[in-house]
Amino acid sequence: MITIKLPLLDYDQIHQTTDAIHQYSKLIGTIRATMTPAQKDFWHISLHTGPQGFRTTPIPNEEGNTFEISLNLISHLANISSSTGNVRSIPLGQSVSAFSNKLLSALENMNIKPDIDIEKFQDKSELVYDQNTASDIFRSYSAVDMIFKTFKGTLKQETSPVQLWPHHMDIAFVCYPGDGNKKIDQIGFGYLTGDEIVEEPYFYITAYPELEKISDITLAKGAYWNPDGWQGVVLKYKDLITTDNPAETLINHLQNTYDQIMESTK
C-alpha cells in the first residue's frame, strides 16, 4: 500500500484561493481544448497533475511544434514551455483579466495564437490567492491523483485517465463496466475541494445511468448517499484524514462501493 500524506484543509480558509486556481485552470483548459486534437469523452479538455501543479500536456501549434502550459502551485507561476526551447512565466495571484492578457501576450510572442473567446476571461475583480494555501490545495489533489491511480490499476474493466476537469475543478476517472452490463455505462470516482452542493472538500462516486438501488448499498463510516443535484456517494475529506491510514481507507471505500454497485446491476 502506498504512503500518502494529505494536508489539513478548511473550506472557510481555502475556498477563495480555490476559486482563483479554478479561474486560472479554466483559461489554460480552454486553450488546450481549442488547440488539442479531439479525444473521446472530451479527454482533450482536461488537465493533468504534475509534480508541482496542473499541466496541459503538449499542445501542437500551427508551426508543427508543441508547447505546454502548467500552473505551478509551489512556485506560484504559470509556465509556458515549447519544444523550440522558449520559456515564459506569469505570476499567479492576479485578476482573471490581467492573468489572461499576460498569458495570451506571452503566447503571441512565441507565435502561438489560441482562438478563444477572450471576453470570457476579462473579469477585473481582485482574486484572493494565498500561496501556502494554494500549495496545500495542490498537495491534496496530487495525493488523491496517486491514490486514484493505485486503485484504478486494480480494475479489470476499461478506465479513463485520472484527469482534472477545469470547469468543476474535480480530479476524477471513470470505469466502463463493458457491453456485458446492460444497466450501467460508467462509474465515476472523483475529488474536489468543495462546490455549491457540498461546501467542503469531498470525494464522490457516481453511476450513469443513475440506479435507484445504489442508495441501499452499505457505505464506509462517514460516507453517505447524496440525492440532491446529483445522485451518488459522498465521503468528506475531513472524515478521511482522521483515519489511521487515509490512503488505505479511501481505496477500501472505493473498492467496496464499486463492488456493490457492480453487484446491484446483476
pLDDT at 2 over 70: no
pLDDT digits (tens, 9 = 90+) for 86-145: 999 999 999 999 999 999 999 999 999 999 999 999 999 999 999 999 999 999 999 999
Confidence grade of residue 247 (pLDDT, cut at 50, 70, 90): very high
In the predicted structure, residue 192 carries a pLDDT above the cut 80? yes
C-alpha 108/C-alpha 86 separation (Å) is: 12
Four-point Cα dihedral 58, 161, 210, 185, nearest 10: 100
Give the CA distances from residue 169 to residues 15, 63, 82, 110, 138, in Å, rounded to whole numbers and listed in that order. 12, 31, 26, 28, 11
What pLDDT sits at residue 205? 96
Between 87 and 180, whose confidence is greater? 87
| Residue reference for cell 515549447 | 82
CA distance 189 to 109: 40
Cis peptide bond N-terminal to 37, omega within 30: no
Does the pLDDT value for residue 1 go beyond 70? Answer: no
In the chain, domain spans = 11-121, 140-264
Contact criterion met (CB below 8 Å) for 129 and 24 = no
The conformation of residue 75, written as its DSSP 8-state character, comes to T
> What gap in Å lies between CA 92 and CA 137, rounded to an integer?
15
pLDDT tens digits, one per residue of 11-57 = 999 999 999 999 999 999 999 999 999 999 999 999 999 999 999 99
